[in-house]
Amino acid sequence: MMKRRSAPDVYGRMVDSSATTSSAVASGPRVDEEVEWEMRPGGMLVQQRSMSTDVSVPNLRLRVTHGAIRLEISVNSQATFGEVKKLLAAETGLQPVEQRLIFRGRERENREYLDICGVKDRSKVILVQDPASIERRFIEMRRNAKIQSAHRAVSDVSVEVDQLTEQVSSIEKSIANGNKVPEVQIATLTEMLMRQAIKLDSISAEGDVVSLKNIQEKRIQECVEILDVLKLSNARVKPVIVTTKWETFDTPLQNNNQIKATQWDNSSLIDL
């Protein structure tokens, strides 16, 4: 911003430097004049716009082309292209930093004013997406897909750990009740837990998945430690020996043969 000040005449009075020599100079000291200036795009120095709200500024209808999409928006005639980008963000989903506005074959800067650039009612503006933003969005999509894949992998391990945890609890209750558990069962369960730990170690986690992964690693570690303690407790459990006493009974066939043999013996004695 620049200020224009009045210059003193030969008598020490303040006279506007832009006035002609034939202009009459009022007597007495003059108050300094201040004019605010601003630099427009292209290096043009113009008087700064008045911020008075008494003067109404007309709106323009802009026809915006974005690929196969045709849009029409209403915007203040003294708005900047940066403000137009903010309006288009809601319509296209592209952030202002991802937009490039072309008017009359030139890309326009955010600070350029519509009226200064010659934008009229129903003027056509072309919107293109910044190639750099396309690459950034592609990288972001790949990153999100990688995070989702890692999240699913950790969830699958969590389901397996839930099932193995239930088996550990079952073995713990059995040993607490004095029942000896086969050692191979404890060894197999420990091996299955270690396999899940290897799966977790192979998952590349980012963001919130890191905390979920750490939770499952702690659960596996706790289960393995419990199984180590149960293995020692199970070795001290004495097996229960069950003895069975068997009782023999005569079969009906043997009883009939004995009866027949007795009858035959009695009849032989009578004959004699």
- pLDDT mean values, one per 10 residues, the chain (272 residues): 46 46 43 56 57 66 92 92 93 91 94 92 93 86 90 94 94 90 92 94 89 93 93 81 61 58 52 48
CATH of the domain at 71: 3.10.20.90
Query: CA-CA-CA-CA torsion for 23, 27, 31, 34, nearest 10 degrees?
Result: 0
Q: Say what the pLDDT of residue 246 is.
A: 64
Question: CA 42 to CA 44: how far, in whole Å?
Answer: 6
User: Would you state the pLDDT for residue 251?
Assistant: 58
Q: Does one domain contain both 65 and 11?
A: no
Instruction: Establish if 81 belongs to a structural domain.
Output: yes
Which pairs from 248-255 meet CB under 8 Å and 24+ separation?
A: none
Vertex 240, ends 237 and 241: CA angle to 5°?
140
SS3 assignment for 40-78 = CCCCCEEECCCCCCCCCCCEEEEEEEECCEEEEEEEECC
Mark whether 153 and 209 lie in a shared domain. Answer: yes
Q: Pick the closest to residue 80 from 50, 54, 113, 45 (CA basis).
A: 113
Task: Tell me: do 97 and 151 sit in the same domain.
Answer: no
Q: 99-103 and 124-129: which strand pairing?
A: antiparallel
- Strands 14-15, 7-8: pairing is antiparallel
* Pairing verdict, β 59-66 and 69-76: antiparallel
Which H helix or E strand runs over 124?
strand 124-129
Tell whether 244 is covered by a domain. Answer: no
Q: Is residue 1 part of a domain?
A: yes
In angstroms, the Cα distances linking 41 to 31, 118, 257, 266 are: 32, 12, 130, 144
Is 242 contained in some domain? no
Give residue 231's domain range.
136-236
Q: Which residues pair with 61 in a beta bridge?
A: 74
For residue 114, the model assigns a pLDDT of 93
Does the pTM surpass 0.85? The reply is: no
Whether residue 220 is found in the same domain as residue 146: yes
Per-residue pLDDT, 88:
93
Residue 6 lies in a domain: yes
CA dihedral in degrees (240, 166, 222, 205; nearest 10)? 150
In a shared domain, residues 140 and 120: no
